[in-house]
Chain A
Amino acid sequence: MSEYSRRRRSIFDIIDEYFESLEAWAERVRETIMERPSWNCRTCTMEPLRDIMVTADEVIVTVDLPYAEQNTIEVKPISKDTIEISAKMRRKISFDDFGITHHRGEFQRFHCQTRIPVPVYMDRMEIRFKRGILEIRLPRKHEYEIPVE
């Protein structure tokens, strides 16, 4: 047996594996708890698909808004780490449009709330809308720095 294969796993490997399994478990729990329809008949809203990317300098949130009327798009900070996005659709969408007959309801707006995972300057938000994709850029707030000696 080679020296390499006889070597025992390091404590760091074991810790990494532990955190990976913990993450997988958390993900399963999150999926179970968060499972809900992507529409809401009471508020006549649909939840859009969205994505968040954190870079060294900013957080970029994108939201897929097909049929959205550009001049109705609203992005509001509702706390220091959450934004609310809404937009009116150019046409009403009903379940009939999807061939679904066992639900009733019409949708006219997109609506969602998104938590920003790191501190950002909400007041310096930049927004653009292209090809039906809303892009929100938020500069990151670096509250403290650890000096490198």
Chain B
Amino acid sequence: MSEEIKIIERKEIPKGAVMIFGFPDVGLVGVIAASHLILELGLEEVAYVDSRLLPPVIVLHEGLPHSTIRIFGNHQILLAVSETALREDLIYPIMHALIDWGRSKGVKMMISLSGIPVQDRQDLDELKVFAAASSPEMLKMVQDKGLEVLREGYMVGPQAVMLQYCATLGVPALTLLAQCFFNYPDPEAAAKALEQLTSFTGVKVDVSKLLEKGEEIRLKARDMMKRTQQELAKMRKTQEYDIPLYIS
């Protein structure tokens, strides 16, 4: 693990869990989904990231300081979530440190939750969830579960680093991407991603409250979305719209 990034454990970490990532990205799909998972499953903070590479920002909850990047969990899942948009230059070191830490805890699978922006999103009644996987075996698993595979294209952001690093290490991993707004918080997309997550983790999550509170979440998430937009522009997120030149 990187010397510059420490993961401080606050509780005993279960072995053989599934590790999930919910980081600020398009539509804030990952963060909204992660926040709902924490509430719905009553997950506790089990570890947090400490690093001088991070901006001098903490988040206060009930008057007490917390790292902006924390890991929540129970005996089945570990959930890494960030409450601020990750700066482009921090994505590699942070994701590598989290994945190395997860491996040291015998994590059996890593899943990142995110979105894939779609034009005229407000006209879509049914949102699709796409998946990308770290290995042919994981890809088969995705197809067996009836999910559509993201066959060709670019992926930009924490989930891209996660997938590539897990492929290199031979850790089973996949990214679930729900169709969403690019620039607006999208609780409906987060609910769709969570529905698909169940088939890979076995952990059932009721998304009805998430859908009921959709407007409230959109209002609360405005500032985080605004900051995330700035970081997405810097990491050239719009490259995901590009048509790749296929090189076999």
Binding site for B on A (CB under 8 A): 27, 31, 38, 46, 48-49, 51, 62, 64, 66-67, 93, 97-98, 130-133, 135
B15: Cβ under 8 A from any A Cβ: no
A49 to B26, CA, bound (A): 13
Q: How large is the interface on B (under 10, 10 to 19, 20 to 34, 35 or more residues)?
A: 10 to 19
- A64–B218 touching, CB < 8 Å: yes
- B184–A133 touching, CB < 8 Å: yes
With both chains docked as a complex, state the minimum distance between the C-beta of A3 and any C-beta of chain B, in angstroms. Answer: 22
A64 to B226, CA, bound (A): 12
A131 to B236, CA, bound (A): 28
- A133–B226 touching, CB < 8 Å: no
Given known A49-B184, A51-B183, A98-B220, contact A132–B226 (CB-CB < 8 A): no
A48 to B185, CA, bound (A): 12
Given known A49-B183, A51-B183, contact A38–B223 (CB-CB < 8 A): yes
- A67–B219 touching, CB < 8 Å: yes
With both chains docked as a complex, state the minimum distance between the C-beta of A111 and any C-beta of chain B, in angstroms. Answer: 13
- B183–A135 touching, CB < 8 Å: no
Chain B interface helix/strand/loop/mixed? helix
Given known A64-B218, A67-B215, A130-B123, contact A49–B226 (CB-CB < 8 A): yes
Q: Which of B123, B218, B223 is A66 in contact with, Cβ under 8 Å?
A: B218
User: Which A residues lie within 8 Å of B104 (CB)?
Assistant: none
Chain A interface helix/strand/loop/mixed? mixed
Shortest beta-carbon contacts, A-B, top 7: A66-B215, A66-B218, A64-B184, A131-B122, A133-B122, A130-B122, A51-B183
Given known A133-B122, A133-B184, contact A49–B225 (CB-CB < 8 A): yes
With both chains docked as a complex, state the minimum distance between the C-beta of B127 and any C-beta of chain A, in angstroms. Answer: 12
Interface residues of B in 202-232 (CB under 8 A from A): 214-216, 218-220, 222-223, 225-226, 230
User: Which A residues lie within 8 Å of B184 (CB)?
Assistant: 49, 51, 62, 64, 133
Given known A49-B183, A51-B183, A135-B122, contact A66–B226 (CB-CB < 8 A): no
A131 to B27, CA, bound (A): 14
- Chain A proximity mask over B150-181: 1 for CB below 8 Å, otherwise 0: 00000000000000000000000000000001
Closest to B218 in A: A66
With both chains docked as a complex, state the minimum distance between the C-beta of A40 and any C-beta of chain B, in angstroms. Answer: 14
User: Which B residues lie within 8 Å of A133 (CB)?
Assistant: 122, 181, 184
Closest to B219 in A: A66
- B220–A48 touching, CB < 8 Å: no
Closest to B119 in A: A53
- Chain A proximity mask over B180-201: 1 for CB below 8 Å, otherwise 0: 0111110000000000000000
Given known A38-B226, A49-B184, A49-B225, contact A93–B123 (CB-CB < 8 A): no
A14 to B105, CA, bound (A): 49
User: Which A residues lie within 8 Å of B185 (CB)?
Assistant: 64
- B183–A48 touching, CB < 8 Å: no
- B230–A31 touching, CB < 8 Å: yes
